[in-house]
Structure 1
Amino acid sequence: MHKPYLATAFLAASALVLAGCSSDPTADSADDSVVRVVATTNVYGALAEQIGGERVEVSSLITSAAQDPHSYEASARDRLTVQDADLIIENGGGYDSFIDALIGDSDVHVLMAVESAHGYPGNEGHEDHADEEHGHEGEEHADEEHGHEGEEHADEDEHDDHGDHDDHAGHGHIEGFNEHVWFDPHTMIHVVEAIAVELSELDPDGAAEFTAASDAIIEELEGFEAELETLGAEFTGSSVFITEPLPGYIAAAAGLTDVTPEGFAEAVEEGNDVAPAALLAALDVIDSGDVHVVLTNAQTGGSETQRVEDAAEAAGIPVVAFTELLEDGSSYAEWMQDAIQNLADALRS
């Protein structure tokens, strides 16, 4: 996958468009009674809508499940949308770095989801207040094999420094860190809590509503954790081939062993050709008969991933595709439930 960028020509064009739009009568008619939230993807946008209810107005910049967020190029309309935001929710970790140029040196509140993840650089030594509150204190998470030992969560004080967006470490890709954190229910518990905290700071009158809504989502997320633990008890150690890091958190939480040859998934994620030796090793793994299921990213791939999928289907190995964005009309909980159920069905087939 290719990393997103903003060309100089786009920036110049954006400036012209913005100048032309400055007299737009709708530009000054924003409803000041609601918190304006901009999410880079509809995954975080859906959560903000569910937590904020009628007290928020949410705009998601990327909404098509057919689109690759890694290569998204922001538009002039996106820039206008971000300028009006009270809160921006991004994934971080190099996943949606296009948003950084749009934010610039604005003092808008920014919530970066990867900062709630296990093993995220800088989390070491932070007390995990959310784990204590929700019974996760001292919990060993299944993602240890991905470098996520020791659940650590940045405390709420970190969100007070909203103007220092450029100081965050999570804008560029971090070697060895899986930025697809929305597929880790445990991390998302912390993200949901952080959204409620941010909204409460921006709209104190709605704090009770935000907390109640976030608690309901957290209950669903804890249910997903339990389902994955059940799968882990049933299939722990079963081998999976993961063509791209997207479903890595779900696989790890289910106790599955990733047997993808080194270099294969990394090349696919970066949008590079898979080395011939890595492709040959991948096909050998599939042919070995040891792989229980193949997990893919429905929004990315190429000839090499197609060869793996074809080999898996020829060998009678189930192939499960995951998407990076919500389907139209789907809630986050419904989307996650479908992902976990599809994995369970494949494992039990």
Structure 2
Amino acid sequence: MRSVPLLAALLVAAPLLAGNAARTDEKINIVAAENFYGDLARQIGGGHVEVTSILSNPDDDPHLFETSPSTARNIADAKVIIYNGADYDPWMDKLLSASTKPDHTTIVAADLIGKKSGDNPHLWYNPATLPAVAKALADDLSRRDPANSAHYQANLKSFQMSLQAIDKEITDVKKTYAGIEVTATEPVFGYMAEALGLKMLNYDFQVTVMNNAEPSPTQVTAFENSLKDGSAKILFYNSQVTDEATARLLEIAKQNKVTVIGVTETEPAGKTIQTWFGGQLDEVQKALAARTQ
């Protein structure tokens, strides 16, 4: 007859055990300020995470982004929050300061690679950034969900290996074309150009434009001359922000047969980090080969 109390105890415990199992299977909610960090989070977390990217439209200017109540709710519900830092997405700091959730993790790319306010904030084009963010995320997910730690660490290794082809192309371009002069309307591609060993002209002009100020006549003249006299072999421009001044520079480049390459501040639709970066590097390598023959 002692089996009756035992059976009753099991019946009482069964819903609790089922509840714990459900919680174990619950996906970890991650919010990424920019969609390339969201892509990274999906690659590391796999089926165990639910990812929301706030800036995801490649046709929008990220600098003009304004938060909304839905953005605030997404932040409030997140377990892990990934953003760029270095004043690129200052609205994230404001939203986080309003959040009272004690157990969320914030992963700030700028902090991981030692960048700060005043530095070029387009950190994802720095080859060191995404691997650092990926490792920080894999380690945090492993801590939160130790049962799936091996899965996160395996995905981290796969992600790191997938970047090897990009790293090799960077090394090959630098070996062949280091010192070649290029220019840009904004410093979006700056870190990658530096990694490629290219010499960037008109940097003061780029920073002025990035800060929504008007370049001086001297800066404008120097920029135009670098296109006209053949010193700049490539003109990089932010294809998400094309105003009248940019259009004029693009036209001068075209008239003087300077190769123009558009770069973006968000990951284009249908791309992954790997195909996005790989495609841009292929375009750069092809342009350099054509202009230096």
TM-score, with length taken from structure 2: 0.86
Find the counterpart in structure 2 of residue 191 from structure 1. 133
Aligned residue for 1:330, secondary structure, equals coil
Select the residue among 94, 102, 110 that pairs with 1:114.
Answer: 110
Equivalent residues in 2 for 1:129-168, closer than 5 Å: none
* Contact 1:279/1:304 (<8 A) preserved: no
Aligned residue for 1:94, secondary structure, equals coil
Find the counterpart in structure 2 of residue 202 from structure 1. 144
Find the counterpart in structure 1 of residue 253 from structure 2. 312
1:212 to 2:208 alignment: no
Alpha-carbon separation, structure 1, partners of 2:209 and 2:164: 31
Aligned AA for 1:332? I
| 1:235-293 Cα distance to aligned partner (Å, 9 max, x none) | 11000012111101111111100111x53101211122222221111111111211111
Question: How far off its partner does 1:332 sit?
Answer: 1.2
Find the counterpart in structure 1 of residue 288 from structure 2. 347
Aligned residue for 2:270, secondary structure, equals coil
* Contact 1:296/1:319 (<8 A) preserved: yes
Q: Percentage identity across aligned positions?
A: 29
Aligned AA for 2:82? I
Question: How far off its partner does 1:301 sit?
Answer: 4.0
1:79 to 2:72 alignment: yes
- Please give the root-mean-square deviation of Cα atoms over the aligned residues, in Å: 1.8
Could you tell which deviates more after superposition, 322-331 or 30-39?
A: 30-39
Question: How far off its partner does 1:32 sit?
Answer: 7.1
Alpha-carbon separation, structure 1, partners of 2:208 and 2:246: 11
Question: How far off its partner does 1:186 sit?
Answer: 2.5
| Structure with greater proportional helix content | 2
Find the counterpart in structure 2 of residue 142 from structure 1. none
**Moved runs in structure 1, 4+ residues, more than 3 A?**
none
Select the residue among 81, 94, 107 that pairs with 1:101.
Answer: 94
1:321 to 2:262 alignment: yes
Higher Cα Rg: structure 1 or 2? 2
Find the counterpart in structure 1 of residue 163 from structure 2. 221
Find the counterpart in structure 2 of residue 290 from structure 1. 231
Question: How far off its partner does 1:178 sit?
Answer: 1.4
Aligned residue for 1:247, secondary structure, equals helix
Question: How far off its partner does 1:31 sit?
Answer: 9.6
1:237 to 2:230 alignment: no
Find the counterpart in structure 2 of residue 33 from structure 1. 26
* Contact 1:188/1:221 (<8 A) preserved: no
- Unpaired runs of at least 5, structure 1: 1-29, 121-169
Alpha-carbon separation, structure 2, partners of 1:245 and 1:31: 44
1:267 to 2:208 alignment: yes
Find the counterpart in structure 2 of residue 150 from structure 1. none
Aligned AA for 2:280? A
Question: How far off its partner does 1:195 sit?
Answer: 1.3
TM-score, with length taken from structure 1: 0.73
Alpha-carbon separation, structure 2, partners of 1:284 and 1:326: 32
* Contact 1:298/1:321 (<8 A) preserved: yes
Aligned residue for 1:348, secondary structure, equals helix
Aligned residue for 1:40, secondary structure, equals strand
- Unpaired runs of at least 5, structure 2: 1-22
Say if 1:31 and 1:346 are closer, same or farther in 2 by CA, change over 3 A. farther
**Equivalent residue pairs, number:** 266
Alpha-carbon separation, structure 1, partners of 2:43 and 2:147: 17
